[in-house]
Amino acid sequence: KAGVTQTPRYLIKTRGQQVTLSCSPISGHRSVSWYQQTPGQGLQFLFEYFSETQRNKGNFPGRFSGRQFSNSRSEMNVSTLELGDSALYLCASSWGDRATTDTQYFGPGTRLTVL
């Protein structure tokens, strides 16, 4: 069974640009969550999508957005990039039901560098 895949793995952008990251979940998983990992702030939850709807949201500005497609693949977009957006962006998938045994499985991440 294939794991969570993220593309691209590495990305370099300049301030003010926008970027789109992609995540393909494990087959059958309907929930996709996104996290930002930085040395200063650690791992922080961005948002979760389930059945094409945003179900949970973290405390990030509106420049960070996402969406999910009918095949559960998800994209996240960051507009007007700032230097502080440089980070490893991790995607995680799970079945998404509210059973307590649901578990998130993470992809390898996309390393975004903003110059």
Partner 1 sequence: AQSVTQPDIHITVSEGASLELRCNYSYGATPYLFWYVQSPGQGLQLLLKYFSGDTLVQGIKGFEAEFKRSQSSFNLRKPSVHWSDAAEYFCAVGDINTGTASKLTFGTGTRLQVTL
Is residue 107 a contact residue for partner 1 (CB under 8 A)? yes
CA neighbor of 104 nearest in space, from 16, 19, 33, 15: 33
What is the number of helices (H) and of strands (E) in the chain? 0, 11
Binding test (CB under 8 A) with partner 1, winner from 92, 113, 114, 115: 92
The b/e string for 27-39 (b: 16+ C-beta within 10 A; e otherwise) is eebbbbbbbbeee
Please tell me whether residue 8 adopts helix, strand or coil conformation: coil
Binding test (CB under 8 A) with partner 1, winner from 26, 68, 104, 114: 104
Place of tokens 């370099």: 12
If the CB atoms of residues 18 and 97 are measured against partner 1, the closer one turns out to be 97
Is residue 26 a contact residue for partner 1 (CB under 8 A)? no
How, if at all, do strands 10-13 and 110-114 pair? parallel
* Stretch near partner 1 under the rule CB under 8 A, chosen from 11-19, 62-70, 75-83, 104-112: 104-112
Interface with partner 1 in residues 28-87 (CB under 8 A): 31, 33, 35, 42-45, 48, 50, 55-56, 58
Q: Residues interacting with partner 1, by CB under 8 A?
A: 4, 31, 33, 35, 42-45, 48, 50, 55-56, 58, 90, 92, 94, 96-98, 100-109, 111
